[in-house]
Structure 1
Amino acid sequence: MDGRHARGAHTRRVTLARAVDIATVDGLEGLTLGRLAAELQLSKSGIFAHFGSKEELQLATISFAEEVFTEHVLRPAFQAPRGKPRLLTLFERWMDFSRARVFAGGCFFSTVMAEFDAREGKVRDVVVRWRTTWSELLTRLIEEAVEEGHLTPGIDVSQLVFELTAFGRAANHDSLLTRDDSHYDRALTALRARLGESD
């Protein structure tokens, strides 16, 4: 039983890793059990046993993307000192993550937010929750930077959250479209300048 469980867990992770790559290029709607089975040379019934439906597969893919993003971006960022250094490290790690194409199509969440912004349903609800959590995280880090004396008290936190997110999304989008990674450097320059104005 332990051996079967280990093989099943491995198959699930391999499947989700491929699903994330597909989703960043073709969207979550581009995911099908049949496509994954064919690309990974697995049985469709075996894939179905893990996910059961396309929606379950989409939700599991989002969850897996969150795990990978946490490992590559969030955990390292929280090793940085509290305040502006942590905020900058988070942004830098995010840009490095997208630039390295850890996911084939760049930032997974930028892709799925654009795909589901005008839709309804469980998948959109999960995407919206992730977007809310991300904004709350940035808000917390900016407020900590104010507490540490790194940013000016009274700064418009919501505006800075908007700008930071916009810089990152623009860099991801423009780099993918033009095949030019200099957009990530421009986003970092823009954020450093913005934070410098608040010193």
Structure 2
Amino acid sequence: MQKGQITRAAIIEQALDTAAQVGFEQLSLATLAADTSMSKSGLYAHFKSKEALQQAVLALAAERFAEIVVHPALRQPRGTRRLQALFDGYMTWLGGPVNKGRCLFMALSQEYRDRPGPTRDMVVQSLKDWHGLVARAVGDAIEEGDISPAQDPRQFAFEMVGIGMSFQLSYKLLGREDAEIMARRAFEALLRRAELAQPAHR
């Protein structure tokens, strides 16, 4: 890797850490320059705009999410073991040493919910990809016979992601020491309901 690439990677790394704490709007190029011992003009040599930096940060966050959550789970057999691995990875992503209770995607989902543009599009697509991955894993579990065919995969994904959001709020904002225990109980209950799901009455 050339020096310019190393410098660019270091900038993105620092920007990801800062953005996870304060969001993109408060991600000051001046502060970032100080944190990386660079000048603002030096930053602009690597990123022509703040938006370009934001998109690079999002790409790195998606890569990290895949490393921590997705890839380990896909090494597990299809079925409830893979779903459990996805949830375990999700808990590590949200509350582990990498993010320390901060999730860039959740923070930006609030910051950009009413602000159209390329950055919002990337956030939306990342969240859709996550919901879709969980739903496909549920579909696989149905095919394997681990989960009832009556279970709606999209509903399961909705509830699992919701558990993660509640965990982050309880863990980071409310400071509940038992937040992860409660989240895991909620997921176990969700899994049991999915295994025993009955067809909806019309």
TM above 0.5: yes
More helix by proportion, 1 or 2?
1
Match for residue 175 of structure 2? 179
Query: Is the 8 Å Cα contact of residues 101 and 168 (structure 2) preserved in structure 1?
Result: no
Deviations 1:132-158 (A, max 9, x none): 111111110000010011100121222
Distance in 2 between the 1:22 and 1:133 partners? 24
Which residue of structure 1 aligns with residue 199 of structure 2?
none
CA deviation map 1:27-59 (0-9, x unaligned): 011223222111111122221111111111111
1:107-186 matches, cutoff 5 A: 107-186=103-182
Do the aligned partners of 2:68 and 2:92 also contact (CA within 8 Å) in 1? no
Q: Is the 8 A contact 1:171 1:184 kept in 2?
A: yes
The question of whether the paired residues in 2 share the 8 Å contact of 1:24 and 1:104 is answered with: no
- Contiguous gaps of at least 5 residues in structure 2: 196-202
Q: How many residues align?
A: 195
In 2, Cα distance between the equivalents of 1:8 and 1:178? 42
CA contact (8 A) 2:73 2:89 kept: yes
Q: Tell me how far apart the structure 2 counterparts of residues 189 and 138 of structure 1 sit (CA, whole Å).
A: 18
What is the alpha-carbon distance in structure 1 between the residues aligned to residue 16 and residue 100 of structure 2? 8
Q: Percent identity?
A: 36
Match of residue 98 from structure 1? 94
Give the whole-Å Cα distance in 1 for the aligned partners of 2:8 and 2:188: 40
Alpha-carbon offset, residue 104 of structure 1: 5.0
TM-score for both structures, normalised by structure 2:
0.91
**1:197 and 2:201 correspond:** no
Q: CA deviation at 1:167?
A: 0.2
> TM-score if structure 1 supplies the norm length?
0.92
Q: How does 1:68-107 map to 2 (within 5 A)?
A: 68-103=64-99, 106-107=102-103
Segments ≥4 residues shifted beyond 3 Å = none
